[in-house]
Every structure is written in structure tokens, then in C-alpha cells.
Chain A
Amino acid sequence: MVVVIVEYRIDRRSGVPAFQQIVQQTKQALRLGVLVPGDRLPTAKEVAETTAVNPNTTLKAYRELEREGLVEPRPGQGTFVRRTLGRPETGTDSPLYAELAAWMSKAAGAGLEQEDVAALVASAMEKQYAAGTTAATGSTTTRSTGE
């Protein structure tokens, strides 16, 4: 039996708590279609073995994902994906992507550097999704609350 599972990559220098990195990377995998409903997430043991992250951290991340309704624990089997975050609009063949690509080439034509573009996108994003998640860039000011 070949089970496709994801491997988390924990960046210890990013300042983002490990459990949030796991949440973000799982969501990213859901968005990209790497994980689809019915897939089993790696067990805390498997994550610990490959990334040397405390199993409690992984479990905490999974509880967070469970709270958001993305995964569900099945006793004795593991944690399974319930629904995907992937939408037609997020694919690279969507009209929104084409519009963004066109805007990017316009920005490049206007002589903007990569950093300028990133700053513009970030500030526009902040304006639009003011109370938004920390998914894209992460945040160092997040307070971990303990359970």
C-alpha cells in the first residue's frame, strides 16, 4: 500500500511557532490539491521522526485544523482530511490568475523591482483583508495562548 503523505518543513529561525507552520503548510497543501479529502495526515510520531518536532506540537496543530473543520481524527487510525481548500479560482488556469499575471508584467514594464511588487501586493492585501489570517507571510507578534 502506497500512502501519499505530506512532509512538513519546520523553519526554526522564522520566528513562527512550529504548530502554526504545520497549520499553514497543511492549508497550503489543501489549497494546492496535494492533500484531498480522505488523505491521512502523518502521525505525530512520523512528524517527530522526520522533523524532530515535539509530538504535542503536531497534535496541537491538528486540533487547530480540526477546529476549523478541515480534518477529523479517527480513533486508532489517525487524522484524516475532511474537506479541501482548493477552489477553481485558485488554480493557475483561472481568469484571476491571468489578470494578476498581466498586472505583474505591467509592473515590470514600469520598472518595479521584485521587492516593490511584493510591498504593493502586501499592502493591498492588508487593506482588503484587514482582519486576515497570517497564512501568507506569518507573523512574529502572534501570542500563543496555551491550551
Chain B
Amino acid sequence: MSTFTSASNPAGTTTGTPTDGKNGTMNATTTEATRRPHLSGMTWLVWRQHRAGFWSILAAAALSVAWMVYQRGQLTDFLTGHGYPAKNLDEVGSAFQQYVDAFSFVALGLGVIPILLGVFLGAPLLAGDLENGTAKLVAAQSMSRTRWLATKLALAGLVVVVSTGVLSAVFGWWWNPVKSEVTVMDWMSSQAFNNTGPVPVALTLLSVFGGVAIGVVLRRTLMAMVVTFGFTVALQVVWSYSIESLGNAVTVTTNKGVMGENGSPSLPRGAYEIDYSFVTGSGDLVGFGTCSGSQTDAARQVCLDKADVVGYAVEYLPMSQMHGMQWFGASILFAVTAGVVAFLFFWGRKRLV
């Protein structure tokens, strides 16, 4: 047995007056709080955990915006110098090509955003916590795991919506002066259609939340990232095949024959042709290749007459439908995303630790 005084008792010192270390941390916390926007509770935790990723996304978006603003300035300078739109761009030649290339280059980058964010933001968002046990740590605190899930989805969703929304708006603004020039970007191309309006927001949101759901089910970060890559690529493929069916195709028919120069129908500027065929006197459509096997024009004419071909029938999508098609498609994507979120909450109630 030994005796000692409380002065040498480690327990005595710790329970006594606050030491420098404590004051140090308190000061650090208060200055930090005044310096930054004040986050609290679950929002603070989720932001702190993913701040590197969130800031990277926002910073990359800001850089891209700056680049596009610069490019638009270059473009409008050129167009003003050229005298556009009074003078069209048909004879502008190779001098204009660099501005077209700038669109393709940026559009390519913007096009992979859904895949990138799905794989690197969505898949690890919860799979990481489930894999290394931090989900248990959060579940052991006083707040419900539903709240945790909701905060994670809300913050990730907010970052996605803000970054892709701003990128989409700025890209559209850049494109606007030359929107009707098919030579720059065809509005039905994935470059234009997928990167403007609500489409990039909807595609990215579904890719990211789909990645989250894959991560929650697989509970392994790396595996979830690989599967999410497959999912987001598949989404892009399915989406690009479905774009056409989003619009109401318009059909124009002619009755001036198909042999002459002036027989072709006149389509509005920027129209996207879906189908080109011949129309008969009774209004039936026959294939565009009808009578193409004929050796001479005369023989072909005989053949066409025999088939009662009186003109062309062209099915197309006018550019005026672009906006409506984008919102229609985006709302389908948003609805699917809502389904994914509902699944996440249903699944997460029991399996999120």
C-alpha cells in the first residue's frame, strides 16, 4: 500500500480546472464556426465526411463554367466579326472549325459526368460506411438512420443538382447563338440533347442514386463502383435509344413525284429526319428503296408508276419539340429516381448498418 496526494493523482488533475489543451480545442472550434457557414447536426457530419468529394465536384464545375464563359466570348467575337446572322456560316471555312471543336470537346466531357459521379460519388456514398463499419458508428448515436440516409441523399443530390444544373445552363447559353446551325451541333445529337435543359441533371441524379442503391445492396465499395459503371453506361445506351420516341413525329408528304429535283419536301430548319419513304396515291407508304433495282430512269419511272408512287413521305422531329422532349424524358428519369430513393428508404430501414 502506498499513500499519495491528490496533486500527483492523474485523476485529480483531469477532474480539476480545465487545462490548456481544452481551451485550445474550444478556441479552435469557435473560430472555425465563425469562419465558415455554420453547419450543424447530421448535415455537418455528412458534409465533413464527403467534403473532399463535394468540393472537388463544385470546383470542377466552376472551372468548366469559367472555360465555357470564355469560349462563348470567343465565339460571339468571331460571329460579330463575321457579320452573323446577316451573313450565314456556309462559306466561313476552316476558321470556324475551332469553335465547333470546342463544343465537341466540352460536350464529350459533360457527357461522362453521369458515369463519373455515379461511380465515384454514388457507389461509395453508403457502401463505404457499410464496408468499414462507420454506418454502425452513426447508428449508435442518438439520431435515426433514416435521418442519416435522408441527409446523405439530400446533400449528394444538392451537389449534383447545383453542379449539373449550372453546367447545363451555361452550356445552353454558350450554344444559343449557333443553336440553329446543324453544322455546329445537331440538336438531337447526344452532345446537345443530353447536355442542356433538365436532361444532364436528371441523368446524373439517376446515375448517382442508382449507384447509391447498388452500393447499399452490395455493401462493398469497389464492387459497387464496378457494377455502377455498368449501370450508368447501360443507362446512357438505353437513353440514347429512347430519345427519338420522346417526341411526336411529324410527317410531311409530297405529290410531285420522286424523280424530279423539286419533288423533295421542304423541312423546317433543324428538323431531325426519322424516316424517309415513298407515298402512293392511296396514301400507303412504301419503302424508300422501291424500284431502286431498275437499270434506267425510264424503267424506274415505269416501276414507280406501277407502284403508284406519287411522292415522298418524311417523318421528322422539329427542333421546336426539343424543350418538351427534354422535360418529358427528364420527368421519366426523375420518376425512376424517386423509385430508387423509395427503395433506399425501404431497404435502409433494416439493412443500413
Contacts and interface: CB of A to CB of B under 8 A. Distances in A.
A46 B5 CA distance: 13
Interface of B: 1-7, 9, 11
Interface in A93-136: none
Contacts of A3: 5-6
Contacts, number: 30
A4 B2 contact: no
A9 interface: yes
Nearest to A26: B1
Interface of B is mostly: mixed
A75 B9 CA distance: 24
A16 interface: no
B3 A34 contact: yes
Nearest to A28: B1
A25 interface: yes
Contacts of B7: 2
A50 interface: yes
Of A9, A25, A49, chain B has the most CB atoms within 10 Å of the CB of: A49
B26 to A, nearest CB: 25
Interface in A1-17: 1-9
B98 to A, nearest CB: 75
Closest 9 CB pairs of A and B: A2-B5, A49-B11, A3-B6, A25-B1, A7-B2, A9-B1, A34-B3, A4-B3, A6-B3
Given A49-B11, A50-B11, A5 B1 contact: no
- Interface size class on chain A is 10 to 19
Given A3-B6, A5-B6, A46 B1 contact: no
Contacts of A65: none
Contacts of A44: none
A92 to B, nearest CB: 17
Nearest to B5: A2
Contacts of A4: 3-5
Contact of B6 (A2, A9, A28, A34): A2
A29 interface: yes
A28 B344 CA distance: 66
A138 to B, nearest CB: 15
A64 B102 CA distance: 89
Given A49-B11, A50-B11, A7 B4 contact: yes
Interface in A35-73: 46, 49-50
B6 A6 contact: no
Of B1, B2, B7, B11, chain A has the most CB atoms within 10 Å of the CB of: B1
Given A9-B1, A46-B11, 11 more contacts: A1-B6, A2-B5, A2-B6, A3-B5, A5-B4, A5-B6, A6-B1, A7-B3, A25-B1, A28-B1, A34-B3
Contacts of A8: 1
Contacts of A46: 9, 11
A2 B6 CA distance: 6
Contacts of B2: 7, 9
A9 B4 CA distance: 13
Nearest to B6: A3
Contacts of A29: 1
20 contacts: A2-B6, A2-B7, A3-B5, A4-B3, A4-B4, A4-B5, A5-B4, A6-B1, A6-B3, A9-B1, A9-B2, A25-B1, A28-B1, A29-B1, A34-B1, A34-B3, A46-B9, A46-B11, A49-B11, A50-B11
Contacts of B9: 46
A7 B11 contact: no
B328 to A, nearest CB: 69
A1 B11 CA distance: 15
Contacts of A9: 1-2
A6 B9 CA distance: 11
Nearest to B2: A7
Contacts of B1: 6-9, 25, 28-29, 34
